[in-house]
Structure formats: C-alpha cells, structure tokens
C-alpha cells in the first residue's frame, strides 16, 4: 500500500469508531443525527478528494 492508501485506511477506521462511539456516548440525548450527517458529508468529501485523480495517467 502506498502512503496515501495507508492514511485513508487509518482515517476510515478512526471515523468508523467515531461514527458509533460519539453519538451513543456523547450525543445520546440530542445531536446524534446532526453528527451522522456531518460525518457522512466528511466521508463523501474525503472520497471525492481521494478518487478525483483516478482517471488521470496511464491505465493498465
């Protein structure tokens, strides 16, 4: 794996843990839906940034 893939994998694991732990522990009473929406937007933006240059360069 290249460095960029390692960072993305670490980011995914940390975000997955936060996606479960934070809403059920810290936002139990209110705010968990907003947290999930913002986290989902963060995942979409990160995926877009990571994959935007896939069509550039040589293809196998």
User: Is residue 59's pLDDT more than 80?
Assistant: no
- The pLDDT of residue 56: 75
pLDDT level of residue 55 (50, 70, 90 thresholds): confident
pTM: 0.62
Gap between the Cα atoms of 26 and 38, Å rounded = 15
How far apart are the C-alpha atoms of 49 and 19, rounded to whole Å?
20
- List % helix, strand, coil for the chain (3-state, nearest 5): 70, 0, 30
């Amino acid at each position: 794996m290249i460095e960029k893939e390692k960072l993305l994998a670490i980011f995914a694991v940390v975000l997955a843990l936060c996606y479960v732990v934070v809403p059920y522990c810290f936002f139990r009473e209110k705010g968990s839906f907003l947290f999930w929406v913002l986290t989902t937007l963060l995942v979409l933006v990160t995926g877009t940034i990571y994959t935007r240059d896939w069509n550039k360069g040589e293809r196998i």
